[in-house]
Copies of this chain bind each other. A is one copy, B any other.
Amino acid sequence: MKTSEIAELVDGELCGDGDIEITSAASLEKAATGQIAFFEKVAEMPSTNASCVIVPQAALPLTTETPGHREAETRPVGSVPEMRNGPEMRNGERGMRNGVRGTANDQAIICVKNPKLAFARAVNKLYASDQLFDGSHPTAVIAKSADVKNAQIGAFVTIGDDSYVGEGCHIHEGVRIGKNVAIRKFTVIHPNCVIYDGTEIGGNCVIHAGTIIGADGFGYVKDEEGNYEKFPQIGSVVIEDNVEIGANSCIDRGALGPTRIGEGTKIDNLVQVGHNVDIGKRCVIAAQTGISGSVVIEDDCVIGGQVGFGDHVRVQSGAVIGSQAGILPGKIVRPGIWWGTPIQPLDEYKRQNARVKGLERLRKDVTELKRAAEEKSEDCG
């Protein structure tokens, strides 16, 4: 992509040559010719060999009093980003590459409101795979009653009876799709995932390798002799559009009703989602978190890693729960930031930690008071 195309894509203001060809992306420190980078903290921009850098609009206007040749120096936010090699950047006249005065024409900057977002969009476009919808690999075993649209089906994939795979999907090698599964447009399922019977997956979803969707929930009934008999796990899993799920995670089917993951929610690796859990839209759930049965997480919640939810917890929209927190069954978690086991508001958690740390001092004070009291009572004697 050319720098001008990128500027247009991200709705940014281009300073410099619009014809520079960008072929890949890197961090600002490591970027080389032909690469795009971004940075957010204007005051601290280091020199770079990137051919294009996306910066905050606050970085403009470029001023002419900018000194060159200072490296990694701290400067006030809002001033021009530091460029090695001089002051004539505006209009493509100033270069960013160290010691290459006069090569200004092979570097450009793009100014936008949100550089990280713009960088993400540009790079995602740049790296978008030209998916060749060359149909199914000859080794794939697809049931006759399955309805597979113009999608890419990898080697050794199996697709069961009455399942549907939408247009533009990419089902990677070794994925197992059961019966009556529906997967909508442009969803990517990475290798060796297992999608049990009856699961519904929306469009534009990404499921990373090894993830299991629709295994039985964990529910048993004790019989007369104390043995566990399985409680029926005959519900389903419904995953809405634009959901991404990491590798080796597990989303269990509901016992009787569905387990649901709302639109735009992002789930990390090795996460456990129990039966009948209902997760809203635009939630983020970090790695190794475990969500027990029938938990409800409303829209726009952020959940850290290794958090544990007891069953029937309800997390209200907008709540943020810190890593390793533990939530007792049935609790309602209101909006705000929560931490610890059992969870408490972050401020209270910090105060409590400080109080526990203050225990040594407290003990000393009490011992001293006791001693003083004893001396006094001896005096009286």
Q: A residues near B, CB below 8 A?
A: 24-27, 30, 114, 116-117, 119-121, 123-124, 127, 137, 139, 141, 154-156, 158, 172-174, 176, 190-192, 194, 196, 206, 208-210, 212, 215-216, 218, 220-224, 226-232, 234, 242, 244, 246-250, 252, 256-257, 264, 266, 268-270, 272, 274, 282, 284, 286-288, 290, 292, 300, 305-306, 308, 310, 323-324, 326, 341-342, 351-353, 355-360, 362-363, 365-366, 369-370, 372-373
Contact of A176 with B192 in the complex, beta carbons under 8 Å = yes
Given A119-B232, A362-B362, 4 other A-B residues pairs in contact with their CB atoms under 8 A: A141-B173, A212-B248, A272-B305, A306-B306
CA distance A226 to B281 in the complex (A): 10
CA distance A121 to B257 in the complex (A): 18
Contact of A287 with B269 in the complex, beta carbons under 8 Å = no
Q: Which residues of B contact A300 (CB under 8 A)?
A: 226
Contact of A232 with B290 in the complex, beta carbons under 8 Å = no
Going nearest first, the 4 A-B pairs with the smallest beta carbon separation are A194-B209, A176-B191, A212-B247, A123-B232
A120 to chain B, nearest CB (A): 5
Max chain B CB contacts within 10 Å: which of A114, A174, A247, A308?
A247
CA distance A257 to B269 in the complex (A): 20
Contact of B288 with A269 in the complex, beta carbons under 8 Å = no
Q: Which residues of B contact A252 (CB under 8 A)?
A: 247, 269
Instruction: Tell me whether A232 and B127 are in contact in the complex, defined as CB-CB below 8 angstroms, given that A117-B221, A308-B306, A326-B323 are known contacts.
Output: yes
A212 interface neighbour in B127, B208, B223, Cβ under 8 Å: B208
Q: Which residues of B contact A341 (CB under 8 A)?
A: 324
Closest to A129 in B: B197
A369 interface neighbour in B155, B156, B176, B370, Cβ under 8 Å: B370
A115 to chain B, nearest CB (A): 10
Contact of B282 with A227 in the complex, beta carbons under 8 Å = yes
Instruction: Tell me whether A362 and B366 are in contact in the complex, defined as CB-CB below 8 angstroms, given that A154-B158, A284-B228, A308-B305 are known contacts.
Output: yes
Contact of B215 with A209 in the complex, beta carbons under 8 Å = yes
A158 interface neighbour in B121, B156, B355, Cβ under 8 Å: B156
CA distance A250 to B248 in the complex (A): 7
CA distance A231 to B284 in the complex (A): 14
A369 to chain B, nearest CB (A): 6
CA distance A173 to B175 in the complex (A): 9
CA distance A24 to B139 in the complex (A): 36
CA distance A215 to B211 in the complex (A): 11
Q: Which residues of B contact A266 (CB under 8 A)?
A: 218, 220, 228
Q: Which residues of B contact A257 (CB under 8 A)?
A: 26-27, 30
Contact of A324 with B352 in the complex, beta carbons under 8 Å = no
Closest to A289 in B: B288
Q: Which residues of B contact A326 (CB under 8 A)?
A: 306, 323-324
